Structure 1
């Protein structure tokens, strides 16, 4: 009986010792986790918690904490990109508004103070001032449009659309510009009607932006085209040109808000850097998809895809 009691006592002591060691190790691991977390958060690093432990609960805790750290890092990265975009936007807004307004002011001062101007010369300057004012007004409208899209205030009225006709009307709207710039036009629109479910105003805006973009940056190629085609599920619109194209390093960012690297297609003293951003957002609002492929001076294509109505 005494031996049995001794065995029980030894087992109890052993269990207490093991529990103490396990508790001590758990406390040590928790202190490590807390200290490491404090350092990661304070230093804003992209580290993860690494700890070898046999405890299932601690392993699950580590997995959860690391997922949370990855999520926080993603949020911080998005925030940094947004701040950079906002700084670039403010810089570009200042430049894009300041430059034409300074030119308008120069025209007005010339008209006002130069008494030797003839009526014809005054009319020419007034005409130029008007064009620049229209340019500023258009830029301001683009900023308002982008703000409405990002806030969800752009109302989409989707209905059954005859895509062939919308494409024809968009190309026809640029006829005078094509002719004035000596740009050849290629239109491939099938006779068989293709229907999609979309907002006509939004779709016209998308096509107008892409055609304006092709004219502005692809005119050197001497040709701008629109191709409409389809398969059993989708309708496709390709707006293309044979101009200078887009560098591969710029293609992933070409639709970003106000992405205006000097050599990118979306950057010019003539452009605001908003057209393609608005185009992408409108396409997504219509549940469509847009992509770009480019081989300089061979073919640069902005490709749209929408679900086709049966």
Structure 2
């Protein structure tokens, strides 16, 4: 009987010891997690929690914490990129508004300083004032449009749209500009109708932005084109040119707010830098995507992909 009691006491003692060891290990693991997390947050490092443990609960906790650290790093990187873009945007907005405003103020001073100004010269200056004022209004409207798109404050109901007609009308609306720049248009739109789920107002803005971009940056290639094609699930619209193109390192940046190529600050390339950003937002609101492929002075293509309407 005594041996039985001794055995029971021994077993209970072992259980208590094992529980104590397990509790101590768990306490050490939790202490490590706390100290490591504190160090990571204070130093803003990209480290992760690395701890070897047999405790399944601690393993799950470590995995969850590492996922949160990854999410935090991604959020921090996104915030940093956004901050850089916003600073560049403010600088570019200031530049783009300052240029026409300087002309406006200078022209007004010329008119005020010379009350005996020749009527023809006065009319020329007033027309210049009107033109620059329209540029400023257009720029402000562009900023406002992007703000509405990014706040989802603009609704584009989807309907079944005949893409053939939309594409033809868009390229034809630029006929005079294309001709005056001695550019050869290439139009590849099939005779058989192709339908997509889209919104005509949004499509007009998308295609106008892309065609305007092709003329602005690809005119030196002397050819711009529009191609409409489809497969069983999607409709594809290619707007392309054979100009200087966009280098690969800039492909992911051209759709950012206020991003422009190096020489876009030159007068001949001047623009708000928001056209492609607005285009991307509009395409996404239509449930599609826009892609870029560019080989400088060979072919630069922006492709809009939309769900096809099969009935």
TM-score by length of 2: 0.94
Pick closer, same or farther for the CA change 1:143–1:238 going to 2, 3 Å: same
Give the secondary-structure state (helix, strand or coil) at the position aligned to 2:213: helix
Contact preservation (8 Å) 1:239, 1:303: yes
- For structure 1, the residue ranges without an aligned partner over 5 or more in a row are none
1:272-306: per-residue Cα shift (whole Å, max 9, x none)?
11000000010011111210111111111111111
Aligned counterparts of 1:31 and 1:264: Cα–Cα separation in 2:
55
Match of 2:262 in 1: 262
Q: Is the 8 A contact 1:254 1:266 kept in 2?
A: no
Per-residue CA deviation, residues 204-227 of structure 1 (Å, 9 max, x unaligned), is 000000011011101111111111
CA RMSD of aligned residues (A): 2.0
The aligned counterpart of 1:231 is 231
Aligned to 2:87: 87
SS at the partner of 1:53?
A: coil
| Distance in 1 between residues matched to 2:283 and 2:78, nearest whole Å | 22
Q: Which residue of 1 aligns with 2:138?
A: 138
1:116 Cα offset (Å) = 6.0
Q: Aligned equivalents of 1:288 and 1:79: distance in 2?
A: 26
Number of positions where the alignment pairs a residue of Structure 1 with one of Structure 2: 310
Give the drift of 1:127.
Answer: 2.1
Structure 2 gaps, min length 5 = none
Q: TM-score, normalising length from structure 1?
A: 0.94
CA distance change for structure 1 residues 246 and 292 in 2, over 3 Å: closer, same or farther?
same
Distance 1:183 1:100 in 2: 28
Contact 2:164–2:189 (Cα < 8 Å) also in 1: yes
Aligned equivalents of 1:240 and 1:296: distance in 2? Answer: 12
Structure 1 residue 83: Cα displacement? 1.8
Equivalent in the alignment of 1:121? 121
Q: Secondary structure at the match of 1:13?
A: helix
Task: State the partner residue of 1:302.
Answer: 302
CA offsets 1:16-39 (integer angstroms, 9 cap, x no match): 222222211211111111111111
Match of 2:148 in 1: 148
Distance 1:182 1:42 in 2: 61
Q: Please give the secondary structure, in 2, of the residue aligned with 1:301.
A: strand
2: distance between equivalents of 1:116 and 1:216? 40
Tell me how far apart the structure 1 counterparts of residues 123 and 223 of structure 2 sit (CA, whole Å): 34
Runs of 4+ in structure 1 over 6 Å off:
264-268
Contact 1:142 1:274 in 2 (8 A): yes
Alignment CA distance shift 1:154-1:266 (3 Å)? farther
Matched-pair contact (CA < 8 Å) for 1:260–1:273: yes
- Change beyond 3 A, Cα 1:59–1:155: same
Asked if structure 2 preserves the Cα contact closer than 8 Å seen for 1:217 and 1:265, the reply is: no
Deviations 1:147-192 (A, max 9, x none): 0001111121322211111111111111111122222211111111
Give the structure 1 partner of residue 213 of structure 2. 213
SS class of match (2:262):
coil
8 Å CA contact retained: 2:216, 2:269: no
Contact kept in structure 1, 2:263 and 2:269, CA below 8 Å: no
